[in-house]
Amino acid sequence: MVYYFSSLFWYSTIQLFSINVEDYQEITLEPGDTLWGIAEQYGHNPIRFAQWVEENNNVDAFNLKAGQTVYIPVKKGD
């Protein structure tokens, strides 16, 4: 029974942080940029977006600086 709940938790966590990515774009962060704001600009869930950026750029979302470049997920047509 414990194993079932553990598996369910990990499956839910994976689903929570998955993001539909069709393309990537490299951006240079400007002063005042936040991952939350960038996520909203590109139509993504901010929590999932921040997780994706951290994992795919090997960065810490809380230590990003202006002038830094990162790859972000974008939907086709954005």
pLDDT (tens digit, 0 to 9) for every residue of the chain, 78 residues total? 444 444 444 443 444 445 666 788 999 999 999 999 999 999 899 999 999 999 999 999 999 999 999 999 987 655
Q: What pLDDT does residue 14 have?
A: 40
Q: Distance between CA atoms of 2 and 17, rounded to whole angstroms?
A: 23
Q: What is the pTM of this model?
A: 0.68
- Map out the domains of the chain with their CATH numbers: 2-74 (3.10.350.10)
**DSSP code string of 13-63:** HHHHH----SEEEEEEPPTT--HHHHHHHTT--HHHHHHHHHHHHT--GGG
CB-CB contact of 64 with 70 (8 Å):
yes
Phi and psi, residue 77, nearest 5°: 95, -10
Q: Distance between CA atoms of 21 and 42, rounded to whole angstroms?
A: 11
